[in-house]
């Protein structure tokens, strides 16, 4: 079985979506433990891709291909994963999305994938997410962390509005907020009252770990 896990990991690391999807289907056909296949196989690959990116051995496109590959494999296994969800451990629940008015979602999806691979339960709202929806989903899922991406200077102000709405809803004190995106910065995060800022997907995992451990 370790050989099968290694094949899953290698497929993600190489960004080989065809092989990853085939292995995911094979895992279902063989009735393998879905959570174990993801945690010991596919997730290992994306974490290694993240490590290589940090080390300067991978470039952003390679990391993105790995993330897309893992997402494709997990999509195949989703029904089995939902069935095994009671067995899956989680560091916390994350609600993530790209802010209203902004349709860019490659970076956000990469962050969501990396968080899921590192033990978080991730609720990905997609792009162009209404301010109120961040709050609604955070309440509905008992989120520990809300992550907001903005790729435009005209939409980044929406991150401030979501934080205000979290306060109005009475849940700001129990939900940590992480922001990111090209026009944002640590200074911006401080100005709007966010708890943290991440420049990339790998850093987002580190910051999430720090925020939820404190």
Q: Which residue has the tokens 């709007």?
A: 192
**Confidence tier at 174 by pLDDT (50, 70, 90):** very high
SS3 128: coil
Q: Which domain holds residue 22?
A: 2-87
Say if residues 169 and 137 touch (Cβ distance below 8 Å): no
Query: Rounded to an integer, what distance in angstroms lies between the CA atom of residue 22 and that of residue 158?
Result: 41
Instruction: Show which of 70, 87, 104 is a domain's final residue.
Output: 87
Say yes or no to pLDDT of 2 above 80. no
Residue 27 structure tokens = 């895992």
pTM (two decimals): 0.76
Domain boundary among the residues 36, 62, 87 is at 87
Token pair, residue 128, equals 């162009």
Give yes or no: residues 104 and 190 share one domain: yes
The token pair at 171 is 């849940």
Each residue's pLDDT tens digit, 71-114: 899 889 877 876 655 555 689 999 999 999 998 887 888 899 88
| 10-14, 26-30, 70-74, 180-184: the lowest-pLDDT one | 70-74
Query: Do residue 118 and residue 24 come from a single domain?
Result: no
Q: Where are the beta strands (DSSP E) in 43-124?
A: 93-98, 121-124
């Amino acid at each position: 079985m370790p050989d099968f896990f290694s094949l899953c990991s290698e497929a993600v690391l190489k960004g080989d979506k065809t092989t990853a999807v085939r292995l995911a289907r094979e895992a279902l056909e063989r009735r393998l433990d879905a959570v174990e296949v993801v945690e010991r196989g596919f997730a290992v690959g994306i974490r290694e891709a993240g490590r290589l990116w940090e080390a300067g051995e991978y470039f952003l496109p390679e990391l993105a291909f790995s993330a897309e590959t893992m997402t494709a494999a997990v999509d195949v296994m989703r029904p089995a994963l939902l069935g095994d969800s009671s067995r899956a451990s989680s560091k916390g629940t994350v609600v993530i999305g790209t802010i209203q008015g902004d349709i860019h979602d490659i970076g956000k999806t990469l962050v969501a994938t990396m968080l899921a691979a590192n033990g978080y339960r991730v609720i990905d709202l997609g792009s162009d997410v209404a301010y109120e929806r961040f709050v609604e989903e955070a309440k509905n899922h008992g989120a520990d962390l809300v992550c907001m991406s903005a790729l435009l200077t005209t939409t980044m102000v929406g991150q401030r509005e979501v934080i205000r709405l979290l306060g109005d809803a009475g849940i700001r004190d129990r939900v940590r907020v992480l922001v990111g995106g090209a026009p944002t910065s640590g200074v911006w995060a401080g100005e709007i009252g966010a708890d943290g800022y991440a420049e990339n997907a790998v850093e987002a995992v580190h910051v999430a770990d720090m925020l939820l451990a404190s």
